[in-house]
Amino acid sequence: MALAKDEDHNNGEKGPCSHFLVVAYGIQGHLNPARTLARRLASIGGCTVTLSLPISGHRRMFPSNENSHEEVSDGAISYIPFSDGKDDGSWPKDVEDRTQRREANFKSLSAVVKSLAASGQPVTCMVCTLSMPVVVQVAREHRLRLAVYWIQPATALATYYHYFHGHEELITQHATTPTYEVTLPGLHPLRIRDMPTFFTEKTHNEVSKMILQALHELFEQMDQEKPMVLVNTFDALEDAELKAIQPYVDVFVVGPAIPPLTALQRRNASEAQIHLFKQDEKNYMEWLNAQQEKSVVYLSFGSLITYTKRQVEEILHGLQSCRQPYLWVVRGEGRAEEADFHLGEANRGKGMVVEWCDQLQVLSHRSVRCFVTHCGWNSTLEAIASGVPMVAVPCWSDQPMNAHLVEQEWGVGVRAERDAEGVLTREELVSCLEFLMGDSEKAAQIRANANNLKERAQEAVAPDGPMERNLRRFIKRMQDLGSMHQENESVNIFNLIQ
Ligand code: UDP
């Protein structure tokens, strides 16, 4: 199946020997940066690129495609699914389930590599997003070059690295003291509460245990294979942290994985994201157009976090007390049914509730004033690139670390505290919003910092800017490695003949 040809793609020119197979999880937070990277490898590097997601994610990307195994092309890159052993989008229940799925996962991804070779487009390099050790295994099996795409901040990369290289015991010993400070090599001190939640949840949460195990395996593989690591960040954001990790990991800084604002404002169709959720039918862009400049509070907790009835109630009352217009994303599948009454209420008056929106379009709209966010790394980068100050309400994984960076390192937002039940209360929401939108010197400084970082982010993705240069350098290195690889192969054959 072929989608509309991409107008911005560079005349179909391909590099001499590169076919990248980029493999990602079938969730929105992995798809977005993986697809942006894939399209950049094609448009900036002139490479052939295939993006591979589990079948469940592929189906959601292309719902009109009846044959869910079929290859799809958008004129710039191709999409081929693989089976993760279950195909229904469910996460493994426990470590045993994960191990069972792993075998099927390995076979299916290997089959994708073989079928591409059989069709005359052999893969030369594989790229895996974050914790996908099976991709490393497939690359090893097929003797393919490999890169890891780190889709969290460089601070998280450095923190995980040191956790698995000598600091696990110290962190585990203080797991129950959230304010305990740990200083990892080259990094600013981090409190336990600012670290990835998996470190402290590994003993009582099966999902955290599994994810931490997968990451551990990935770091072990990285120690052996020494792959290049692409990081979705930019120098102005994490200069010191990038320097801190460089002695240990071969890093290429290729972020932020966000189109330039000019493309968003032009509503350039080729830059549009592929959404795994159906866009809400309400015309929220028209609604935003009707709002005053810098007046709207945008609130979204991403694609995975769910709402309890109490959480909906608290946010509703908080937003209503602020008296500002608000746009609030609550996914249909992400809320308790009993919350519907309050959501009906939230849709009246100054507010609009949608099940899903095009977040990049929303954040770059002139009427948006601030973003109440769970601090997923994509949402954080998108807010930074749009210059929108944040109320950070982290929940799990790298989100507390991102919230810490937002508030303490970059000064582009304020962190809200959840209560003992993990709920963001109405009082806390109001207090953070009033502070962020208020006239204090500190709030003005946050707005100035947000504008400054927006400029830096735009510079990073400008034509021939650092992101493009680093990506070209990365492709060149991959190609050079390929030539060396071929030379070694011919030497081996020569030895055999002799
Ligand atoms: N997103 C969107 N529309 C929405 C909510 C989220 O397009 O209504 C996108 C958002 O732009 C971001 C991704 O979904 O790129 C969520 O990724 P993130 O890392 O922020 O959080 P996750 O969903 O992985 O927790």
Q: Is the CB of 360 under 6 A from ligand 1?
A: yes
As beta bridge partners, residue 250 has: 228
Distance 172 CA to ligand 1 centre (A): 30
Q: Whose CA is nearest to atom 2 of ligand 1?
A: 359
Q: Are residues 352 and 454 in the same domain?
A: yes
Q: Flag whether 337 is in a domain.
A: yes
Which pLDDT score is estimated for 448?
A: 98
Which pLDDT score is estimated for 337?
A: 79
Q: Flag whether 11 is in a domain.
A: no
Q: Flag whether 9 is in a domain.
A: no
Q: Are residues 238 and 284 in the same domain?
A: no
Which pLDDT score is estimated for 336?
A: 80
Question: What is the dihedral angle through the alpha carbons of 265, 267, 273, 277, rounded to the nearest 10 degrees?
Answer: 100
Which pLDDT score is estimated for 2?
A: 52
Say which CATH number the domain at 377 has.
3.40.50.2000
Choosing from 28, 307, 380 the residue with most ligand 1 atoms within 8 A of its CB, the one to mutate for a pocket test is: 28
> Is 317 a residue of the active site?
no
Q: Are residues 60 and 144 in the same domain?
A: yes
Q: Flag whether 177 is in a domain.
A: yes
Which pLDDT score is estimated for 9?
A: 41
Q: Whose CA is nearest to atom 24 of ligand 1?
A: 29
Q: Are residues 411 and 493 in the same domain?
A: no
Distance 418 CA to ligand 1 centre (A): 21
Q: Are residues 221 and 359 in the same domain?
A: no
Q: Is the CB of 291 under 6 A from ligand 1?
A: no
Write down the catalytic residue from 30, 365, 374, 404: 30
Which pLDDT score is estimated for 13?
A: 40
Q: Flag whether 183 is in a domain.
A: yes
Q: Are residues 302 and 349 in the same domain?
A: yes
Which pLDDT score is estimated for 497?
A: 37
Q: Is the CB of 303 under 6 A from ligand 1?
A: yes
Q: Are residues 56 and 156 in the same domain?
A: yes
CB 9 within 8 A of CB 43: yes
Distance 409 CA to ligand 1 centre (A): 23
Q: Which atom of ligand 1 is nearest to the CA of 363?
A: 11
Q: Which atom of ligand 1 is nearest to the CA of 356?
A: 8
Q: Is the CB of 280 under 6 A from ligand 1?
A: no
Mean pLDDT per 10-residue segment, the chain (498 residues): 44 60 95 96 94 93 77 93 86 78 92 96 93 88 96 98 98 96 96 96 84 92 94 97 96 93 65 86 94 98 95 96 95 83 81 95 96 98 97 97 98 97 97 97 98 97 96 94 66 40
Which pLDDT score is estimated for 269?
A: 58
Which pLDDT score is estimated for 491?
A: 46
Q: Is the CB of 359 under 6 A from ligand 1?
A: yes
The owner of tokens 């799925």 is 101
Q: Are residues 449 and 308 in the same domain?
A: yes
CB 371 within 8 A of CB 390: yes
Q: Is the CB of 356 under 6 A from ligand 1?
A: yes
Q: Which atom of ligand 1 is nearest to the CA of 399?
A: 25
Q: Are residues 245 and 301 in the same domain?
A: no
Q: Is the CB of 378 under 6 A from ligand 1?
A: yes
Q: Are residues 246 and 386 in the same domain?
A: no
Tally of domains within the chain? 2
Which pLDDT score is estimated for 272?
A: 77
Q: Whose CA is nearest to atom 11 of ligand 1?
A: 359
Q: Are residues 375 and 484 in the same domain?
A: no
How far apart CA 147 and CA 162 sit, in angstroms, is 20
Burial of 434 (C-beta count, 10 Å sphere; 0-12/13-18/19+): middle
Q: Are residues 301 and 341 in the same domain?
A: yes
Residue 373: which domain range? Answer: 278-459
